Amino acid sequence: MDNVVVGIKAGLIGGIAWGGIESILPEIIIHFGVFGNLSTVGYPLQFGSSVLSASLLIPLVMCVLGIIGGIIFGTIFAAIHDKIPGKSGKTKGVYYSLIIWLISNVSGLFGAIYTYGLILYIGSSFTANLVFGLILGTLFEGGIEKH
């Protein structure tokens, strides 16, 4: 039971990080990065536009989804921790999060139109899952108290 509590706590913290990265990284890349100042639909966006103003709720929603997903995946991680390959918590966490990333992304790729938006989504979700796995594994192994 102690492992489940630790998994929930670690998943909660990792989920917040996942949500933040998943919501902010695409915005940074879109507006300042490789694709220039283009939206995922391909037209220029100015800061302060109604599209961007409406998207200010996206980080909040993604963090809430990250918290919910983090608790769920943290609980599952606690249940299967001993069966995951690897010796350290970080290795197990990264391995686990990459499996989650593969399952969630490969299933959505069939029939997808390959655009900058899809590439951006895959890259940002990979980064967010990697950070989630590092946090989850590190905190589960000993970075968070059981009680």
- Whether residue 51 has pLDDT greater than 80: no
Higher pLDDT, 125 or 120: 125
pLDDT in tens, 54-79: 566 777 788 888 899 999 999 999 99
> What is the spatial distance between Cα 39 and Cα 83, in angstroms, rounded to a whole number?
42
* DSSP structure string for 77-113: HHHHGGGSS-SSHHHHHHHHHHHHHHHHHHHHHTT--
* pLDDT reading at 18 higher than 70: yes
What are the domain boundaries of the chain? 2-143
**Number of residues in the chain:** 147
